[in-house]
Amino acid sequence: MSQNNIYGGQAVIEGVMFAGKSVHVTAVRRKDNEISFLEVPRSSSKEWVRKLKKVPLLRGLVAIIESTANGARHLNFSAEVFAEEEGEEVKQEEPSLFGKISMLLGVAVVGVISFIFGKLIFTLVPAFVEHTLFNNHFENQILHNLIEGLIKIVFLVGYIYIISLTPLIKRLFQYHGAEHKVISAYEAGVPLTVSNVQKFSTLHYRCGSSFIVLTVLIGVIIYSFVPYDNLWDRMWQRIALLPVVIGVSYEALRFTNVLRDTPVLKYLGYPGLWLQMLTTKQPTDEQVEVSIASFNRMRELDSEITKPHVI
């Protein structure tokens, strides 16, 4: 029997984070095989934020910023555990209240800024490269936009492939696969054992990798409706339209997830699944065990406070 609750997660260094309705839980495997947990209560959004989350197009931008800020804290926790395991100095004293607030704000800001900076780089650099190489060859702006989209895909795939060759990122991608397997097993309604979870695919329709591909494809379409006169117009338009591209892409991701079991229409989500072939790797049993531990702990804490998250 399939489950109705929808959960999301994120791979971190040597572990996995899962987000429930009332708590975010990260489980990290230490070198002594013990599993450490970070349990962060999900803060209540302000009323105006909750209203924005219900508005199509705007809710995508809010969700991305919020998840990036939350994910940054859990990634920071896993990095600290990893540094401690590697013998690097870690401060043991309990920080003051001001210190805790400053740390949380700093991690959130860094996470959001990193996302925005990365999105700008992968938006502006391909536009500049395409303009430099092909501006004098033809005047059809739609064709220019298509070539720009192809350059983005090449840059994106090349970047992911290169970083995936490093041992740390390869293991991160394995945990990414473990996260997807656990969610798929839960949604299929099977008991979350290592042997059961390993039977499922490392690919999942709701993955952020699918969202990244959609921003490229939908960006080509949206940019084609806005003419420009020169390179600087083109650059500023890309920046101004970035929230629109993110908002529409988020809605498209939700749409493709709904249609994933519909014949023919399910292929709308395939470009994202293809990219996940790079961003996920087959996990080991030990990595799946960590993912299951994180998911079960999140569900346990959620059930102690309220009913499981239903969307």
CB 183 within 8 A of CB 204: yes
* Alpha carbon distance 132, 152 (integer Å): 15
Question: Considering only CA atoms, which of 86, 97, 82 is closest in space to residue 36?
Answer: 82
Helix ranges (DSSP H) in 165-284: 167-188, 194-197, 208-223, 231-258, 270-279
Alpha-carbon span 74 to 124, nearest angstrom: 29
- Three-state DSSP at 10 gives strand
Do the Cβ atoms of 224 and 142 come closer than 8 Å?
Answer: yes
pLDDT at 258: 74
pLDDT on residue 309: 41
Residue ranges of the chain with per-residue pLDDT less than 50? 1-2, 88-95, 97-113, 308-311
Q: Six-digit token pair at 201?
A: 């695919």
Phi, psi angle pair for 247, to nearest 5°: -65, -45
The pLDDT value recorded for residue 128 is: 93
The model carries a pTM of 0.79
pLDDT tens for each residue of 210-241: 788 888 889 999 999 998 889 999 999 999 99
Measured between alpha carbons, how far is residue 129 from residues 135, 149, 231 in Å? Answer: 10, 11, 10
Q: How far apart are CA 185 and CA 286, in angstroms?
A: 17
Q: Amino acid letter at 303? A: S
Calculate the alpha carbon distances from 262 to 6, 56, 181, 208 in Å: 19, 23, 21, 21
What pLDDT is recorded for position 102? Answer: 44
Look at the block and give the residue holding tokens 């997830």: 257
